[in-house]
Structure 1
Amino acid sequence: MAFPDIQSFVRLLEDRGELVRVSTPVSRELEITEIADRLVKAGGPAVLFENVRGSEFPLAIGLLGTRERVALSLGVSDLDDLAAKVRHLIDLKGSGGLMGMLGNLPKLRDAMNLPPRRVKAAPVQEVVWRGDEVDLGKLPILKCWPLDGGPFVTLPLVITNDPETGERNMGMYRMQVMSKNTTGMHWQRHKTGTRHLEKAKKKGQRLEVAVAIGGDPALIYAATAPLPPIPGLNEFALAGYLRGERYPVVKGVTVDLEVPANAEFILEGYVDPDEPWVEEGPFGDHTGFYTLPDQYPLFHVTAVTMRKNPVYPATIVGRPPMEDAYLIEASERLFLPAAQMILPEIVDYHMPPAGVAHNLVVVSIKKEFPGQAYKVANGLFGLGQMMFAKVIVVVDEGVKVNDMDAVWKEVTQKAVPGRDTLTGRGPTDVLDHSSRGWGYGGKLIIDATTKRPEEIGSPKSSRDEQAQDTALDIFLPSAETDLPAFEGVLAQRQTDDGYWIVVLNKRRAGQSRELAEAFARHPAADGVRHLLICDEETDVNDLNDVWWTILNNIDPERDVWTVPDAGGGLLAWDGARKLHSEGFVREWPPKIVMDRAVRERVDALWHVYGLPEQGR
């Protein structure tokens, strides 16, 4: 199903009862974020804010805020159908004579839909601002979180062409508004936009840029998809395939770039590679932590084009789960067949929200030989943006990869720390605040598959698989223990499947390792396979919060280790904050938290907005 534009999708959601209109005046500074955050975490409806203070344009948010809405936007009944759709396309028959080749024709017709279609006139160019008319402050651009450096365009489709080959690229890179006609351009080290800018610099020319806001949902999704570097395969082509028809594009009015004809707004302009970079940030990012200020290129806006009555689509990112979790799930389904072509033993894989995309990948395999789990994990590390994965857990084919309770039980039952865990190094997401270096850090593979005899060897000792129900009095003051309380421990909890969670207010180097060693010597450690040391802002009773904190705050090579002399093996995870005294040289970022005054204002106005109890 092809949607003509984002407004048609808004109308469909409203007809289905999955979108509410808010006519009450609302602030684009923090207030919209608080409302949208509550609704997406509760699986609530999308919202069309019709009266945003300081702007004449309405704002839509949460349009892709559930798994079902993402599937609807991509024209499938369920996201699992995306895998079947791609598998159908790539399974071309190369034998069987004439009849075999004729059997490919329907698939080839699908492939012919990929290139975009140039049109002469477009709705997105009905209104044009040029020169001094350009004023980004007139758009309802959000300041999302309290410590953000300013307003950010959060759903931009940034279009550039390779200065050497002409190959087009579209990516979603946040854009901080710096002035009425400039923004930051958050092109990270590994992004295609960065390579285009470097090539423009070598050629001694500016890099033309167009930023689409809106389009239809398939294009918005495509801008987030981790496409492989195949000539001719770009975001417009992917959107065309998902739509079932070629994507309409039009030439920009001040740039020689093709832009989506059905967008709501287009920002046209350039980045000068010889111009000094500007400080961008902080920004409350999809990791759930703030990305701290850094230097990025400056985007100059030479024109803004738009529809006569546009809607400004936006999203927010922050502590999971957020809207981006469902886009990530769509990419999982879409690229599963391609991963299986390269690693055919893969049954399924999942990137849970607590792992914020790259921090955790769970993959199930059909195991046939010893060491196969490591073969698959290392193969995944070599596939495109999967190189950023931090922890890969490999399980047997019968395990549901999206059932995290089942996955972590498999880990305690089938992965002996030290024997079935392996650390290494590689590229990391530049947003990873805990890595040993910028874009470079540790990796962890956990083999939680059923072991072959060759993989077992002769373990030094065995340990009771059932964790004992013993209180960890060693760490907190108590008259019932003959051991002193351990410094800095604020809370703790043992699960029934082999994990002990400790909240540690770390104040000095070596504190986490001392804690792990003391724990390993205590009888309460018997039956525990994993000691999860969290920072002081973690809720031990919320496993999603625990794993989100742990996975964000570790460099596995440095912060995950097997504790010596701990019976059958204890794996310690140091997810507490890292200190300069430990040799960590970067500043540690804060977790994202909304201002209390904003929360209270939204509480008081919830019924005035006309919003459902869901999310209240």
Structure 2
Amino acid sequence: MPYTDLREFLKTLEREGELARIKEPVSPILEISEVTDRVSKTPGGGKALLFEKVEGYSVPVLTNMLGSEKRIKLALGYENLEDIGWKLYRLLRPEIPNTFLEKLKRLPELKKLNDSLPRIVRKGPVKENIIKEKINVLDFPIPKCWPEDGGRYITFGQVITKDPESGIRNVGLYRVQVLSPTELALHWQIHKDGNHHYWKAKRLGKKLEVAIAIGGDPVLSYVASAPLPPEVDEYLFAGLIREEGVELVKGETVQVEYPAHAEIAIEGYVDPQEPLVDEGPFGDHTGFYTPVDKYPRMHITAILHRDNPIYLSTLVGRPPQEDKYIGWATERIFLPLIKFNLPEVVDYHLPAEGCFHNFCFVSIKKRYPGHAFKVAYALLGLGLMSLEKVIVVFDEWVNVHNMEEVLWAWGNNMDPSRDVLILKGPIDVLDHSTSQVGVGGKMVIDATTKWKEEGYTREWPKVIEMSKEVKEKMDKLWDRIKYQIYGDNRGA
């Protein structure tokens, strides 16, 4: 069963020993970040942290909620996250039934899809308190994350907009800087759907309404980060994961719906006719500060919150952080879609240490000369995979999640003069290494076994492996040998 709200998920985390309650008074200015950073860098990502005594506030702060493999599986409700990917695949690539019997077989699947649709409800806990006068977003303990940040930042808000032409909803995970008690700066990058909505509104001469939801079922926080196609509603995707539609309420001052069981909701608008404002610096997931740049100003028209709300935040910075596990979940969930478009792909990995967009390691079933480059070109044409800076292609037997094996195969199978291509294309705007923002160089490396048709004139050597007979014999003796090596503590 899906979680109704954040509070229900916290009960699960506490029951599973995955939640630490911090009773020591700490400041939202840098101190919450320092504690969270230390915990998130422990093996396995540490525990979720509920800061119960935030100096100057009665509202507790939750961080590192999804910062472990166990917690993100608990949040999404799946042990194998690729199962979610196959659900998304069936939504995007529906098979047309050819017979009446096949149509009947599709009925349960169609019912599940219908059950997953977002539902508008009249009331929800998020509307227990509605503030339209004397608005002050700093009534909530919004952290300042790093010393040189331009201010306090909302980092785990579901930023909700609608396409001004089609009305299709988008939910994005964008950092939001607090400019004043009633004004925010929205950092939606040029490649993101929120930015597309902004430019459409500007062209049409309209204001763009915005809602920012904080909390709710943890699935909602995850789907805001998912790189879905523009036509797929993130809350529909959340419903597919939950197998139950997300309950939404209509805004009080905007025609935008948001989760009924959120802890906090911020309503407002962006006027594209207004000049952009300075946003930043901000210590981002690259581990470096991104400099000041120009982004839209959001005017707050209402703030709503539950009784005794919990403020949800995430910390980004030098990896590993909580987003390591969020990115890992995305990698696993979207593997089925990549396999559909590229059946030769066995697996891929976007290491958190490479900030997800710096390195992509992919293993393939190689079938013809130049196959590695074909796969790399195709990946660079798939959504936000277009922002990848270095793609390294391996044979199918290479475990792309094992860095020892990756470096071994990469170093041994690649000749820089033959197997490296330098290209140019779009780059993540947070990448500070490029001479221009958002565009720069890319590198494709073929680390597969080379064929004569690819210009390799020597005989490719075999990988060293023990004979099957010897391995089987030693398997039978291994328990006794382990005992003789390790003794009682680590023996059979």
CA contact (8 A) 2:124 2:249 kept: yes
Q: Give the secondary structure class of the aligned counterpart of 1:24.
A: coil
Q: Does the 8 A contact of 1:56 with 1:138 survive in 2?
A: no
Contact kept? 1:83, 1:334, Cα under 8 Å? yes
SS in structure 1 of the partner of residue 188 of structure 2: coil
Contact 2:267–2:301 (CA<8 Å) still a contact in 1?
yes
**Which amino acid is 2:125 matched to?**
P
Structure 1 residue 229, shift from structure 2 partner: 2.9
Structure 1 residue 431: Cα displacement: 0.7
How far residue 407 of structure 1 moved from its aligned partner, in angstroms, is 0.7
Corresponding position of 1:5: 5
SS at match of 2:171: strand
C-alpha distance in structure 1 between counterparts of 2:97 and 2:248, whole Å: 37
The equivalent of 1:324 in structure 2 is: 323
2:455 maps to what in 1?
A: 456
In structure 2, what residue type is equivalent to 1:26? V
Shift of 1:456: 3.0
Q: Which residue identity lines up with residue 295 of structure 2 in the other structure?
A: Y
Distance of 1:325 and 1:359 partners within structure 2: 14
- Corresponding residue for 1:574? none
Q: Write out per-residue CA displacement over residues 503-545 of structure 1, whole angstroms, 9 at most, x where no aligned residue.
A: xxxxxxxxxxxxxxxxxxxxxxxxxxxxxxxxxxxxxxxxxxx
**Separation in 2, partners of 1:113, 1:223:** 20
Distance 1:12 1:457 in 2: 57
The match for 2:68 is 66
| Deviation, structure 1 residue 79 | 3.0
Q: Which one of the candidate residues 76, 100, 103 is aligned to 2:102?
A: 100
Superposed, 1:275-314 pairs within 5 Å as 275-314=274-313
Question: Which residue in 2 is equivalent to 1:333?
Answer: 332
Deviations 1:272-318 (A, max 9, x none): 11112111111000111100111111111111001012100110001
1:197 correspondence with 2:194: no
Q: Give the match's secondary structure for 2:445.
A: strand
The code of the aligned residue for 2:442 comes to: K
Distance 2:218 2:15 in 1: 17
Answer yes or no: is the 8 Å Cα contact 2:450–2:456 preserved in 1. Answer: no
1:56 is matched with which residue: 55, 58, 77?
Answer: 58
Quick one: structure 1 residues 85 and 457, their matched pair in 2 at CA, closer, same or farther if it must change by over 3 Å? same
CA-CA distance at 1:164 after TM superposition: 1.2
Alignment correspondent of 2:34: 34
Task: State the secondary structure of the residue aligned to 2:266.
Answer: strand
What CA RMSD, in Å, does the superposition of the two structures yield over aligned residues?
Answer: 2.0
Larger displacement relative to structure 2 (372-381 or 84-93): 84-93
Asked whether 1:345 is paired with 2:347, we answer no
2:176 matched to which residue of 1?
175
Distance 1:358 1:227 in 2: 16
Letter of the structure 2 residue corresponding to residue 76 of structure 1: Y
Tell me by how many angstroms 1:333 deviates. Answer: 1.4
CA displacement at 1:89 relative to structure 2: 6.1
Q: Provide the C-alpha distance between the structure 2 equivalents of 1:102 and 1:368, rounded to a whole number of angstroms.
A: 39
Match of 2:111 in 1: 109
Percent identity among equivalent residues? 49
The CA distance in 2 between the partners of 1:440 and 1:88, in whole Å, is: 34
Structure 2 distance, partners of 1:92, 1:388, is 28
Letter paired with 1:139: F
Give the conservation status (yes or no) of the 8 Å contact 2:88–2:237: no
**By how many angstroms is 1:152 displaced?**
0.5
Normalising by structure 2, what TM-score? 0.90
Give the SS at the match of 2:363.
Answer: strand
- 1:92–1:104 CA contact under 8 A, matched in 2: no
Cα distance, 1:245 vs structure 2: 0.6
**Partners of 1:111 and 1:395 in 2: how far apart?**
37
Residues of 2 paired with 1:94 and 1:272: CA distance?
Answer: 44
Note the C-alpha offset of 1:91. 7.4
Contact 2:363-2:393 within 8 A present in 1 as well: yes
What one-letter code is carried by the residue in structure 2 that aligns with 1:337? P
User: In structure 1, how many angstroms separate the alpha carbons of the residues matched to 2:361 and 2:448?
Assistant: 12
Give the number of aligned pairs.
461
Q: CA deviation at 1:109?
A: 2.4
Work out the CA distance in 2 between the residues paired with 1:319 and 1:398.
31
Distance change in 2, residues 1:306/1:101 (3 Å) = same
In 2, distance between residues paired with 1:347 and 1:437?
Answer: 34
Q: Could you report, residue by residue, the CA deviation over 1:165-218 in whole angstroms, capped at 9, with x for unpaired residues?
A: 111111011011111111111121122111211121222221111100112111
Partner of 2:469: none
Secondary structure of the residue aligned to 1:385 is helix
Q: Which amino acid aligns with 2:450?
A: K
8 Å CA contact retained: 1:93, 1:104: no
1:31 aligned partner, one-letter code:
E
2-side partners of 1:177 and 1:91: how far apart?
41
What amino acid does structure 2 have at the position aligned with 1:214? Answer: G
1:127 to 129, 150, 159: 129
C-alpha contact 2:136 2:181 (8 A) present in aligned 1: yes
Match of 2:49 among 47, 50, 55: 47
Distance 1:350 1:13 in 2: 28
Amino acid at match of 2:352: P
Cα distance change of structure 1 residues 3 and 455 upon mapping to structure 2, 3 Å threshold: same
Aligned position for 2:486: none
Contact in 1 for aligned 2:268/2:298 (Cα 8 Å): yes
C-alpha contact (below 8 Å) 2:193/2:230 kept by paired residues:
no
TM-score (norm 1): 0.72
Q: In the alignment, is the contact (CA less than 8 A) between 1:93 and 1:103 conserved in 2?
A: no
CA contact under 8 A between 2:345 and 2:362: conserved in structure 1?
A: yes
The 1-side partners of 2:217 and 2:236 are apart by: 14
Q: Residue type matched to 1:381 in 2? A: L
Higher deviation after alignment, 85-94 or 305-314:
85-94
**Which residue is equivalent to 1:244?**
243
> How far did 1:114 drift?
3.5
Q: Post-superposition shift, 1:330?
A: 1.1
Separation of aligned partners in 1, 2:91 and 2:201: 35
The aligned counterpart of 1:223 is 224
Given that 1:288 and 1:320 are in contact with CA atoms closer than 8 Å, whether structure 2 keeps it comes out as yes
Aligned pairs (5 A) from 1:412-423: 412-423=411-422
Preserved CA contact (<8 Å) 2:207 2:270 = yes
Pair 300,18 (structure 1): closer, same or farther in 2 beyond 3 Å: same
In 1, Cα distance between equivalents of 2:59 and 2:227: 31
Determine the structure 2 residue equivalent to 1:187: 188
State whether residues 170 and 230 of structure 2, in contact with CA within 8 Å, keep that contact through their aligned partners in structure 1: no
Name 1:143's counterpart in structure 2: 144
Amino acid at match of 2:20: V
Letter in 2 for 1:71: K
Other structure's SS at 2:334 match: helix
Match of 2:77 in 1: 75
CA offset digits 1:329-361 (Å, max 9, x no partner): 111111111111111101111101111111111
Counterpart CA distance in 2 for 1:50 and 1:78 is 33
Identify the residue that residue 432 of structure 2 maps to in structure 1: 433
- Distance in 2 of aligned mates of 1:110 and 1:376: 34
